Amino acid sequence: MRASCILLCFFMFLAVSSAYPGKKKQYKPCKEFVLYFHDILYNGKNAANATSAIVAAPEGANLTILAGQNHFGNIIVFDDPITLDNNLHSPPVGRAQGMYIYDTKNTFTSWLGFTFALNSTQHQGTISFIGADPILVKSRDISVVGGTGDFFMHRGIATIGTDAFEGDVYFRLHVDIKFYECW
């Protein structure tokens, strides 16, 4: 059972007659923090620094240039450093590992499946994310579907934003992780 429920259940039970039943109610995260990760895409020339690579592409495209129609059909595998601030050169607190898929022909969207493997004095454990990412929207929500270690059985929402980018080669993502189910 979720530890967070022990007290909350009781207070919410007391409060039930006045609880607003509408769907616009706001929940307060039981845990929240912000992390950044940095993706440097392999372009045929930056093997030493690249943290990600195109590994699948639609017919006619290649693996060193993102595909033509808003990169539709590219799958990128990544192992990106995670930092506490927005500086690529800050000491990493873990790695963001998994893949993203460009999945629309007439705009930029991607589908994300990845895991944060955190290994610092502050956090030990993994957090797994799944979701659709409408890249051009300033701030978008994806699902936190599971966790291990310090994040055992956690679930939540991550609000992500593209913090910076340089052409097709570098981008930095700001990830505001809000857990609503803590154990």
Binding residues among 75-104 for its own copies as defined by CB under 8 A: 75, 77-79, 95, 97-99, 101-104
- Indicate the residue among 22 and 91 with the shorter CB distance to its own copies: 22
Tell me which residue has tokens 């939540």.
156
Scanning 11-19, 33-41, 82-90, 161-169 for contacts with its own copies by CB under 8 A, the matching segment is 11-19
In the bound complex, what is the minimum distance in angstroms from residue 120's beta carbon to its own copies?
15
Number of residues binding to its own copies, judged by CB under 8 A: 75
Scanning 2-10, 33-41, 81-89, 164-172 for contacts with its own copies by CB under 8 A, the matching segment is 2-10
Q: Which residues fall within 8 angstroms of residue 35, CB to CB, at 6 or more apart?
A: 82, 83, 84, 93, 116, 175, 177
* Cα gap 183→4, rounded to integer Å: 7
* Cα gap 166→163, rounded to integer Å: 11
When asked if residue 134 is in the footprint of its own copies (CB under 8 A), the reply is yes
In the bound complex, what is the minimum distance in angstroms from residue 92's beta carbon to its own copies?
13
* Cα gap 169→67, rounded to integer Å: 13
The span from the first CA to the last CA of the chain, in angstroms, equals 7
When asked if residue 16 is in the footprint of its own copies (CB under 8 A), the reply is yes
* Cα gap 168→149, rounded to integer Å: 34
Binding residues among 40-79 for its own copies as defined by CB under 8 A: 42, 44, 53-59, 62-64, 72-75, 77-79
The binder of its own copies chosen from 37, 88, 123, 128 (CB under 8 A): 128
Binding residues among 140-169 for its own copies as defined by CB under 8 A: 141-150, 152-153, 155-157
- DSSP string for residues in 58-95: -TT--SSS--TTTTTT-EEEEEEEEESSS-TTSPPSEE
In the bound complex, what is the minimum distance in angstroms from residue 118's beta carbon to its own copies?
10
